[in-house]
Amino acid sequence: MRVLAAMSGGVDSAVAAARAVEAGHDVTGIHLALSRNPKSYRSGARGCCTIEDSNDARRAADVIGIPFYVWDMSEEFHEGVVEDFLSEYAAGRTPNPCLRCNEKIKFAAVLERGLALGFDAVVTGHYATLRTGADGLVELHRAVDAAKDQSYVLGVLTQEQLAHSLFPLGDTPKPEIRAEAARRGLLVADKPDSHDICFIADGDTGGWLTEKLGASAPAAGAIVDADGEVLGSHEGTHHFTIGQRKGLRLGVPAADGKPRFVLDISPVTGTVTVGSREDLRIDGLSCIKPRWCGAVPTTLDGPEVTVQLRAHGAEHRASVRVAGESVEIDLLDAASGIAPGQAAVIYDGSRVVGSATIASTRRTAVGEGA
């Protein structure tokens, strides 16, 4: 096959590209320029949009011996990922931009352009595995390295997208990938993993949002408890996410002396509600905008059905009911600190069934005295 290797400048995508060459594919490396104003150098281990990263990707392509180009996807990234991130936060939700990027950029804009230019697939360094199921459909499964598994951020991919994807790293633990990179002479072998959100270079999400949202940033408001009593004030609801404990700056300690967490965010009234760890526990999710990896399910309640609610988060046993664009999830294992906007990725065993965006959470059996 003729495949496009999306190369971030990191170790994983470099090894993925090398493995694709070894598997006999005709590989072309591309680095996606996603920032409108790329910075020259990384600060620390963060970020993946610098000229230095682009140069690292180019050097890896040289060593592997494949052609290499930079594709400007900055406009698509801004519209599809950054603007979505801004509007979600402004609305009091907590989005995951990595899923949006996979859904709209890497396996959409890039794949479409690649297919038109005569390529057959996109290969990335994501830790996940693909198998062909009994029905002939391509199945997405968790990686063997549970600590590195990235099937969660790929849960937005449709059958069409999966059929044009290659994930050569899913069968290997990360330390072996680093060793393999060193063996292959790839200088990025000991480059630190990227973390956090690539377009927020210093990791200060609140400060970044304040700057980008400008006049449309949510206004300052009150921090209240479940009874509505005012405990403090804040500089905008976008500084908070549900389950957050740090940075509340409440002068008055709770009556029971226990730490308090953000339970609810209302950008309209500017109110942030806080409460105890117990109050964070939920056992039900109403979700919207489902994306299915294969056939559309109706009910999923087998013993192996689980949902994962954040990247590298826990698996919760669950029962799932699908009605068109609406997905209702009952959690058999309660979850904590779950925010609207996050993605619920649904698994049957190791197989990803699909994903949906959490619209609201509920607590029924858990709660009192739990």
Partner 1 sequence: MTYLDHAATTPMRPEAIEGMAAQFGKAGNASSLHASGRAARRVVEESRERIAQALGARPTEVVFTSGGTEADNLALKGLWWSRGRRRVVSTAIEHHAVLDPLAWLEQHEGADVTLLPVDAGCRLDLAALDASLGDDVAFVSVMWANNETGVLQPLDEVVARASAYGVPVHSDAVQAVGAVLVDFAASGLDALTLTGHKLGGPYGVGALLVRRELELTPVLHGGGQERDLRSGTIDVPAIAGFAAAVELAVKEQADTHTRLSALRDELVAGVLAAVPDAVVHGDPARQLPGHANLGFPGCEGDSLLMLLDAQGIECSTGSACNAGVPQPSHVLLAMGCGPEEARGSLRFSLGHTSSAADVQAVVAAIGPAVQRARAAGVRR
Residues forming the active site: 101, 198
Smallest distance, Å, CB 22 to partner 1?
20
The yes or no reply on residue 247 touching partner 1 (CB under 8 A) is no
Q: Is 1 in the site for partner 1 (CB under 8 A)?
A: no
**Which token pair is 330?**
């009952």
- Verify binding: residue 118, partner 1, rule CB under 8 A: yes
Q: What H or E segment, with its residue span, contains residue 18? A: helix 11-22
Q: Residue 53 or 180: which CB sits closer to partner 1?
A: 53
38 binds partner 1 (CB under 8 A): yes
Which residues pair with residue 348 across a beta bridge?
305, 351
By DSSP bridging, strand 315-323 and strand 299-300 are antiparallel
x/- string (CB under 8 A) for partner 1, residues 51-90? Answer: x--x---x--------x-xxxx-xxx--------------
The minimum distance between CB 38 and partner 1, in angstroms, equals 4
Return the residues of window 88-117 that contact partner 1 according to CB under 8 A.
112-113, 116-117
Q: How many residues bind partner 1 (CB under 8 A)?
A: 20
Q: Which of 231, 329, 237, 324 is nearest to 282 (CA)?
A: 329
d(CA 214, CA 105): 26
Q: Does 22 contact partner 1 by CB under 8 A? A: no
- Token pair, residue 179, equals 């060793």
- Binding site membership for ATP: which residues? 6-13, 32, 125
SS3 101: helix
Q: What is the SS3 assignment for 218?
A: coil
Question: HSE-up of 142 (CA within 13 Å, CB side)?
Answer: 19
Residue placing its CB nearer to partner 1 in the complex, 39 or 363: 39
Residue pointed to by tokens 């969660």: 152
Decide: helix, strand or coil at residue 212.
Answer: helix
Question: In the complex, which residues of this chain contact partner 1 (CB under 8 A)?
Answer: 28, 31, 33, 38, 51, 54, 58, 67, 69-72, 74-76, 112-113, 116-118
